[in-house]
Structure 1
Amino acid sequence: MTQKGHNTPPPFEAWSLHIEDLFSIANGIGEATNDEQEQALDELLDEFRKAKKEADKERVAEKKPHDDAAKAVQAKWKPLLDRCDIAADAIKKALTPYRTAKQRAIDEAARKAREEAEAARQAALTAFQSDDLDDRFEAEAKAQQAKAFQVQANKLDRRPTGLRTYWEAEITDRKAALLHYLAEQPEMFTGLIQQLADKDARNEATRRVIPGIIFHERKVAA
């Protein structure tokens, strides 16, 4: 595409017009059945390749000032943000042992409260079954006591800890884990195997006999 004169439209508009013209020519084309048609299609294909290459150059040129500006802003602020992250990590590291010990104490208190609640509940049940009126009166008090202990345990469980809980997995038997996930999520493994096989297919050095894989040679227009 040539651009001449002072009334040349901006690059995006110019290339839009050119590519749309080419697209209208390509729209509805059929298969080549002779050398003339093959040559015409090959020339059209080359025009699209040239148009894409040149249009992409314009895209990169138009985008570059924005990329440079974004990089400058990022470079300016990143050291400050990094210092915040470094300091925050150090503070969290300093807080974790104390908060962990504190949480253990809270957990232990909650455990004891639940044990006392259960003991009071069992005592209340036993007293309720007694024929003695004094025992049955005492049962009411023990039931209230059991409820109070349970409320205390629940409050302890809900107290903020200042700790963030996370889980991480440790693989202790790769074969067992592989068989488990292979049965549970076979589609993920099929995709992974396809990626590995396609990689080997593209490399003549690795395109060898592989169990369960057949390499097919395909031809498409270049």
Structure 2
Amino acid sequence: MHLRAEAIVLAIRAHGEHGAVVRALTRCDGVQPGYVRGGRSRHLRPVLQPANAIAGEWRARTGEQLAALTVEPLHSRAALHGEPLPAAALAWVTALTAAALPEAQPYPRLYDALGAVLDAVEAAPAARGWATALVRYELLLLAELGFGLDLTACVVTGGEEDLGFVSPRSGGAVSRGAAYGYEARLFALPAFLTESGAADWPDILAGLAITGHFLARDLLTDRRADPLVARERLVAMLKRAVA
């Protein structure tokens, strides 16, 4: 096994006294794990930070063996880890991707979308500049893994007009008329999830409530549920920031 590719660092785990097992997302070969000799050294620690872009070279004698990975830095976002809100966003989105995606399966749309979210956080550390991109990324990840929401038509009537809610059971949109009397049992559907453009904070928080429900129910279950702590921390910080 020999692979060379640009990648986004997702997760790092200490291995032995000085090494590290790194999981990184490539565009054409999906999530690839690898052992980095000296990965915890002073030289490599700044490179092996979640959300950094690297050029990686994976080598292994067989496909079942953990590959040896050598890395070169391409783009560092390490400075963002010193700012509480951007750091929480990077921690969540990389942990989500690492936990949800199977290894070695390509998801080019997710690779591009994750890069766009990270670029947005870097370009505008104020959450208003990247929060909508984060919600859309979570929706795309659900869709790519087979748990997409249908926000194009009412799950009750089939109509495409006056959509205002989302069913927590089916993940389908519900029109305001069909939702009458049951609004408290449904999620409010923010306009930015069905239309282009910016969103205000109530809509952003409503979008996060929708994606959070389906991520926890359908993807981040059992052993993969640990990253939800990072999401809860991020959402709490966002609510405090806009209170």
The question of a shared fold, defined as TM-score above 0.5 by the shorter chain, is answered with no
Q: Highest Rg: 1 or 2?
A: 1
More helix by share: 1
Higher relative contact order (CA 8 A, sep 6+): 2
Which TM class, normalised by the smaller chain length? under 0.3
Taking structure 2 as the reference length, the TM-score comes to: 0.16
